[in-house]
Homo-oligomer: A and B are copies of this chain.
Amino acid sequence: MATIHDVAKLAGISRTTVSRVLNCHPYVAEEKKRKILKAMKQLNYVPNSSAQRLRKVKTDTIAVFVPRITNPFFSHLVEVMEKEAAKYGYKLILCQTHYNKEQEGKFLDLLKTKQVDGVILTSIENEWKHIKPYVNDGPIVICNEYDDEAHVPSIFLNQVEGGYLGTKHLIDCGYKRIAYCAGSERRSRLTRDRRKGFKTAMREAELAVDKDWYLFNAISIEDGKNVFQRIKSLKNRPDAIFTGSDEVAAGLLKAAKDSGWRVPEDLAIIGFDNQPLAELLGLSTVKQPIEDMARHTMQEMICAINGKVPKESTNLSFQLIQRSTT
């Protein structure tokens, strides 16, 4: 493989000048520039990026953390991020945490070992105090999730509002016995806030919530099916259910129909995200502006890498989409 040295020799010019051409420095005589470019082509030269990284302390690479890329919400986020990153010459390293603290920790070391210029977190597994030390090694930007203690750029949605919007819709449709279903609340402020929105809407409408109507730890389609079984087994059944994801809503819908229930007559269902399957199934849902979030996030990240002081937080809005399940 040809090096900058070979190019310099062939062109009869110093390495320095070759490097200048490579980096588009001013003050290079046109004629020499041409000669160098010619030599490069002739030798099929490409700069060795490992050497550039070492010298420039810059990788042009960003790590994106997601739980699992097969979750459509996250794959959509990543799709847009990668596209946006590529626009600015950045590459993306995909890091799947599988909802696991240790995995997340290992991937964070990419920052310390200078393998990436920055890290984007779309989900957070560890407590912030464990993540905090890494901010000294490079910028961390949070997208989708948020943490009060994390004073880093955060692009997120006000989930209180999202929870309120979905619940209010069910209430406006006339449902009075509304169940609430979400993922884990252990670590995530996101789900806690969404529930806060739910409660606010219910309180405003002076509707009571049976404690059996709170259903947690539901993330997948399969979980949605299980949630239906739990509802079916209740003596005091809800007439509508708010779910934290379209997957869960889809599983719930499938199981309900398989059991001969009519939706929304026997049970109204609202999802969250507005994924393609929501449209296919005619699922009412709360739409999140995924593309905007992804784009904003990547822009903040690139600003941060370039040392510009970014805004600490950006807040986007939801949109309600009614279909046939409410």
A: residues with CB less than 8 A from B are 46-51, 53-54, 57, 59, 61, 68-70, 72, 75-76, 78-79, 82-83, 86, 91-96, 98, 103, 109-110, 112-115, 221, 247, 250-251, 254, 276-277, 279-281
Pair A61/B280 contact, Cβ less than 8 Å: no
B residues near A98, Cβ cutoff 8 Å: 83
The answer to whether residues A50 and B47 also contact, given A69-B69, A83-B96, A221-B280 and a CB cut-off of 8 A, is no
- State the Cβ distance, A284 to closest chain B Cβ, in Å: 16
A110–B281 Cα distance when bound, in Å, is: 41
Pair B50/A59 contact, Cβ less than 8 Å: yes
Query: Among the interface residues A94, A110, A277, which one has the most CB atoms of the partner chain B within 10 A?
Result: A94
B residues near A48, Cβ cutoff 8 Å: 54, 113-114
Pair A49/B114 contact, Cβ less than 8 Å: yes
- State the Cβ distance, A322 to closest chain B Cβ, in Å: 16
Interface residue from B72, B91, B277 paired with A70 (Cβ < 8 Å)? B72
- State the Cβ distance, A18 to closest chain B Cβ, in Å: 16
Pair B70/A79 contact, Cβ less than 8 Å: yes
Pair B49/A280 contact, Cβ less than 8 Å: no
Interface residue from B50, B82, B94 paired with A82 (Cβ < 8 Å)? B94
B residues near A277, Cβ cutoff 8 Å: 277, 280
B residues near A112, Cβ cutoff 8 Å: 46
Interface residue from B68, B83, B94 paired with A92 (Cβ < 8 Å)? B94
Pick 15 A–B contacts, CB within 8 A, sort by A: A49-B113, A50-B114, A61-B93, A68-B79, A69-B69, A69-B75, A70-B72, A72-B72, A78-B94, A86-B96, A91-B93, A92-B94, A94-B94, A254-B280, A277-B280
- State the Cβ distance, A314 to closest chain B Cβ, in Å: 23
CB-nearest residue of chain B to A257: B282
CB-nearest residue of chain B to A61: B93
Query: Among the interface residues A49, A76, A86, A95, which one has the most CB atoms of the partner chain B within 10 A?
Result: A49
